[in-house]
Amino acid sequence: MEIKELENKAKEIRKYIIEEVYNAGSGHPGGSLSIADIMAVLYFDEMNINEKNPNWEDRDRLILSKGHAVAALYATLAERGYISKEDLKGFRNIESKLQGHPNMNDVTGVDMSTGSLGQGLSIANGIAIGGKMDNKTYRVYCILGDGEIEEGQIWEAAMASSKYKLDNLCVIVDNNNLQIDGTIEEVMSSYPIDEKFESFGFNVITIDGNDINQIKTAFSQAKLVKDKPTCIVAKTIKGKGVPFMENKVEWHGKAPNQEQYEEAMRGLEN
């Protein structure tokens, strides 16, 4: 897709995110909005997938390790045609399949159930190793939160990614610099993220994670790397696209009221 088309997809994804969280009265808009551009590029430009054959054995896989940002995943799956856009209205409803964390058993297009932070990279490693063993060409993408990488299991998994030379693995760190209790530096600084992943044997690319062109270029570069995994450190803005949510830690995990919802939708529409 062209840049403008992908920007429009990201805008639609953001609108669905706001609708999901508003209708549910709960959810995590900040970190969902920050990855909307990444999700648009992955699902409409980068990943080799087929919504008409969602269980295709040779498809690329996405592990949303920061599973609380699932509103972005559901919005993207609906926009791509995996699930009904009407279903988004039931987000987090007890009767709905679209719960607050991804469930691969219930939702078409979800490659792995996630939500316990820190575990996604281990899962991605396993899928990538399986692909190598079966001589498959699929790629595995794993989105981590910058707060999530405070979990020790991430770094154990990173050692394994490097040891097994998983060049079919691409990690994306959503570096929006905010987690539920404050800034990354205030809670438990994981900086410098790029140097840490480099020291663990990763090829590292640092980008503006809300710039479609930079995201596309980074994924293209990652495909050329052999014998080591790639980590894209995507510097993003939490709440991106909704000005009153941007860079505000309080929007990590709360829903807008009606007035705020209308303001957000007007802004995204314009």
- Using the predicted structure, report yes or no on whether residue 190 has a pLDDT greater than 90: yes
Number of compact structural domains in the chain: 1
What is the length of the chain? 270
Predicted TM-score of the model (pTM): 0.97
Q: CB of 24 within 8 A of CB of 255?
A: yes
Mean pLDDT, residues 99-114 taken together: 97
Range of the domain at 240: 3-269
pLDDT for 253 equals 96
Angle between helices 212-224 and 3-24 (to 10 degrees): 110
pLDDT tens per residue across span 197-225: 999 999 999 999 999 999 999 999 999 99
CA-based nearest residue to 169, from 113, 96, 242, 229: 229
Q: CB of 120 within 8 A of CB of 63?
A: yes
Tell me the percentage of the chain whose pLDDT exceeds 90: 99
Torsion of CA 211, 80, 142, 250, to 10 degrees: 60
Domain harbouring 78, CATH code:
3.40.50.970
pLDDT for 259 equals 98
pLDDT tens per residue across span 10-46: 999 999 999 999 999 999 999 999 999 999 999 999 9
Give the tokens for residue 252: 């990590």
Task: State the CB neighbour count (10 A cutoff) for residue 192.
Answer: 12
Mean pLDDT, residues 156-178 taken together: 98
CA distance 264 to 245: 9
CA dihedral for 101, 106, 110, 112, sign (positive or negative): positive
Angle between helices 152-163 and 120-133 (to 10 degrees): 20
pLDDT for 270 equals 83
